Chains A and B, each alone.
Chain A
């Protein structure tokens, strides 16, 4: 049972991070290689709001989530919007540069030392029993719950809401969408805001579970294969990809060799690229376009 819980938690981490990659790619065809940094920035923002709203953890969490959304919008308005009309590669390189800048700024503002937002919030990450003799930490349980909630909300938003439908339209054919009166800049800004919001939730919950330091950037990158395996333009695919990679990782750690956990996401990715390059649920047309 503990193995199943471990798979669920790891899959939730990867899925929550991967949906940020998918949201931006699906709408604007840009691979956001600063996603790990934006996720880490949200976690550091939580650290700051925790000290600002001392004794009010809910207010601190809410404030940091609002700030994460604001960061996403600002990244689009002040950086990615300028990339409109440029080659996709230029936009991707802009995200790389943004990542480097953010890493430097975060060290300067919050220093390189290990931080514990949970401690700053005065919150104890207790361990909960799970039926079957397994255990899960409160933060890890929150990760699973948030991932479920985020994906459920995103599916409903994209399928039923006016802005969600506009977002899908802009992703499918931006020119046609613009001609139909859809404001592309608003849609793209929304995609960046949502991606930073979901990545931010992941960053905050990981930091609440096990602390926060500069290595979180790499965790952001580790979720990238999940998005690719699932299909870069499919949210359901990201969920499935995260589950496949998390299961492979946890089972190999337990039954074969823990060292394989580092390479298995990429082994699965290579296998997928050979067999089905557009991913489990990705659109074949996307590959042709690339």
Chain B
């Protein structure tokens, strides 16, 4: 059975490698054709591949119910391996050969520029799903760029620093950890400044190159700096490996990091009550009715990822479905854009409130966060702080 599953995955990958789509080639458009360029392989794949798999499963789920406005959604999925040159080639192919009405990026921020350029040239909207929301999606938003991804620069650190201030048992001395990529560095610098403005002490700031064979030298510096809190806003690998290196050095402070898609399983693996994660997506442990839907779709699509990693992609699927539903047939990029400029998507509890886009705001009008940690007494991941809203202006 496992061999059969692997065979199916191999066949899918072979199709992707050949530039084919999940479905028939797009000639006369009889479907809503959406083009995706994502880091499905390569060093960053762990973050992005589950998002796209979940989107694919969601699209299959919608198509199974008759599609949107009586038409199926066809996803044309290409692998950019996190490389800008491949993302550029993908965007060109998707726009010129597949005639997609919407582009989706789920990859490293270095792949944004070539896709933005192609999106502007063709006047086709570009959606970031599972990839960090660029500031161009914040008000006043770029006319063509939209984002469903849960994390958002500056808002995340406001929540994190507020949480540290409210929950510190003694005056906080915060150390910071980022990955050596512009978005992560920028956010950590913002957080450091914010902490100082809020009257909290700061210690050292470690900018860690990706990937690093041993995180201990960076952790040593954070520990030696006398931090009793460490805040990390970076890809999960940097966040968790810095934390584990700190613990192995005997550091007994408290740690707060963003809850990326791996966070729920990782809290259960590490079982450390002082590792806090905050995020905009509800955990599967919350056991909402929609989680049963995600589980069922995961089983049907035979996805290789745990259900805990699929919320981000499912949310992108919800937004995509809502946008296409508001796009009258025959669909054109201009009609999709008009629909996306005035969209309110029910998140079914996966977020603290609806995802709302306006003409000026392509991020969301309110950003909601929950905080989780491991509770040894209950031997489970628990909620530390319920939805907290921040207005996006």
Give me the interface of A with B, judged by CB distance under 8 Å.
2-3, 5-6, 9-10, 13-14, 103-104, 107-109, 111-114, 116, 119, 125, 127, 135-137, 140, 206, 209-211, 213-219, 222, 249-250, 253-254, 257-259, 261-262
Contact = CB atoms under 8 A, between A and B. Distances in A.
A253 B248 contact: no
B46 interface: yes
Contacts of B44: 214
Contacts of A211: 237, 240-241
Given A113-B46, A259-B207, A261-B209, A104 B305 contact: no
Interface stretch (B19-27, B125-133, B149-157, B213-221): B213-221
Nearest to A218: B211
Contacts of B248: 125, 127, 135-137
Contacts of A257: 207
Interface in B304-326: 304-306, 309
Contacts, number: 124
A113 B51 CA distance: 11
B41 A10 contact: no
30 contacts: A3-B217, A3-B220, A10-B214, A13-B213, A14-B213, A104-B41, A107-B41, A111-B49, A111-B305, A112-B49, A113-B262, A113-B304, A113-B306, A113-B309, A119-B269, A127-B250, A210-B214, A210-B215, A210-B244, A211-B241, A213-B46, A215-B43, A218-B43, A218-B210, A249-B217, A254-B217, A258-B208, A259-B180, A259-B209, A262-B209
Interface in B270-315: 304-306, 309
Contacts of A222: 213
A65 B237 CA distance: 26
B305 A10 contact: no
Interface of B: 6, 9-10, 13, 17, 40-46, 49-50, 180, 206-218, 220-221, 224, 236-237, 240-241, 244-245, 247-250, 262, 269, 304-306, 309
Nearest to A9: B214
Nearest to A210: B241
A224 to B, nearest CB: 13
A127 B247 contact: yes
A95 B236 CA distance: 31
Given A6-B217, A113-B304, A253-B221, 5 more contacts: A108-B9, A113-B50, A114-B237, A213-B43, A215-B43
A107 B213 CA distance: 20
Given A108-B9, A113-B262, A127-B247, A6 B211 contact: no
B220 A6 contact: yes
B217 A253 contact: yes
B220 A9 contact: no
A149 to B, nearest CB: 19
A161 B57 CA distance: 58
Given A13-B214, A261-B212, A127 B43 contact: no
A127 B209 contact: no
A13 B217 CA distance: 14
A206 B41 contact: no
A40 to B, nearest CB: 11
A259 to B, nearest CB: 5
A6 B209 contact: no
A214 B45 contact: yes
Nearest to B223: A2
Nearest to A7: B217
Contacts of B212: 219, 261
A108 B8 CA distance: 10
Contacts of B207: 257-259
Contacts of A258: 206-209, 217-218, 221
B43 A217 contact: yes
A259 B6 CA distance: 40
B305 A113 contact: yes
Would you list the 8 A-B pairs with minimal beta carbon distance, nearest first?
A112-B45, A215-B211, A262-B209, A127-B248, A111-B304, A112-B49, A215-B43, A253-B217
A47 to B, nearest CB: 14
Contacts of B46: 112-114, 213-214
A108 B216 contact: no
B240 to A, nearest CB: 8
A94 B77 CA distance: 29
A229 B340 CA distance: 55
Contacts of B206: 258
Given A137-B248, A213-B46, A6 B309 contact: no
Contacts of B250: 127, 135
Nearest to A206: B213
A112 B308 CA distance: 15
A119 B236 CA distance: 18
B169 to A, nearest CB: 24
